[in-house]
Amino acid sequence: MKLLSRSAVALGAAVTVLAGTASPAAAIVGGQEATHRYNGMLHLTVDYPSIGRTLHCGAGLYDAWHVAVNAHCVLDNLAIPDPVAVEPSRIMVRAGTNDRTSAGQTARGTRSKIHRNFRWVDPNTGKPVADIALVTLDQPIHAPTMQLPPAAASKPGTSLRAIGWGLTEYPPPADNPDPLPTMLRQRDITQLPAASCDTEVGVMSKGDLCVSTGPCFGDSGSPVLTRAPGRTVGANRRWVWQGLVSRETDSADPCGKPIIATSLAYYRTWLAKAAACTPKGVTTAAAACTPERTTGGKQTPDQRRLVRAKLPFLSQLTDS
């Protein structure tokens, strides 16, 4: 799974983890290879050709034309902490396969809508962190979509399943330029009380879920799931997407402590409105739609490097 990364590893290194107040989530640690396909599950990559790197996240197929993902997965990491959307054509998703490298169907982004309240840094504003975005695709994906939860969020003590292509061990081997697993992984975890994630690094807010250890770098955007009542393996809508892995809560042990996920029950109305702005691949938003975040203030390269080293999001960069 792809979590917000705290990393301070240089962009020139073979593997780079980007971080902030809380870092993107990592891959599944302590799990196993997925036992079947999961409806709506996508692998998402963002190319950074200027540095020869590729960012990896999970994501969810909202409908045939739209992908739900964490905002930090589709922001330009080279512009941190500015909330600048990456050029959509650099976003690619792969659907219909547990292999992140082959088979299935691929599509590219044509537009990214980022929640206007999302911030890379300084989440202590009293507002939700709002780590959520919707990507419009250049062609429809012909695969089962994700099932969203009802408006009421899941509760602490709920049994969950985390899935993703994030790191399976942390820190990853230094001699491996692409430490992410090829095949989808899974691990059963539990929803925890909010207090378990409310740390100086984690910063819980309205619209967040706290979950137990499992997701790691590369798991950002990947789901935490509950079983859909009355469904059997292989049936459509077997799993309900409760949240998307967002960030760590402990910079010293990012993959060994509880993780914060973005609640899809909380943001389901926002996703519906965002999808209505760009139906069937339309690339221009309707006039009534709220503008997405595309620009921010100016920072010097030194300021950006300093902030990047503190980000808690668990995204993962590898050699292209």
- Compare 122 and 158 and report the one with higher pLDDT: 158
Q: For position 141, what pLDDT does the model report?
A: 96
The whole-chain average pLDDT of the chain stands at 78
Model confidence pLDDT, tens digit, residues 125-175 = 677 889 999 999 999 999 999 999 988 778 999 999 999 999 998 888 888
Please say if the pLDDT value at position 123 is more than 90: no
Find where tokens 């599944």 sit. Answer: 28
Q: H/E element holding 302?
A: helix 301-308
Please say if the pLDDT value at position 105 is more than 70: yes
Number of domains in the chain: 1
Model confidence pLDDT, tens digit, residues 189-216 = 999 999 999 887 777 889 999 999 899 9
Model confidence pLDDT, tens digit, residues 222-265 = 999 999 876 554 444 589 999 999 999 988 888 999 999 999 99
Residue type, 14: A
In which band, very low, low, confident or very high, does the pLDDT at 296 lie, cut at 50, 70 and 90?
A: very low
DSSP letters spanning 111-123: EEEE-TT--SS--
Q: For position 150, what pLDDT does the model report?
A: 86
Instruction: Find the domain containing 179 and state its range.
Output: 3-319
Please say if the pLDDT value at position 299 is more than 70: no
Q: What is the CATH number of the domain that holds 172?
A: 2.40.10.120
- With contact defined as beta carbons under 8 Å apart, do 10 and 300 qualify? no
Please say if the pLDDT value at position 12 is more than 60: no
Sign of CA dihedral 207, 210, 215, 216: positive
Helix (H, G, I), strand (E, B) or coil at 279: helix
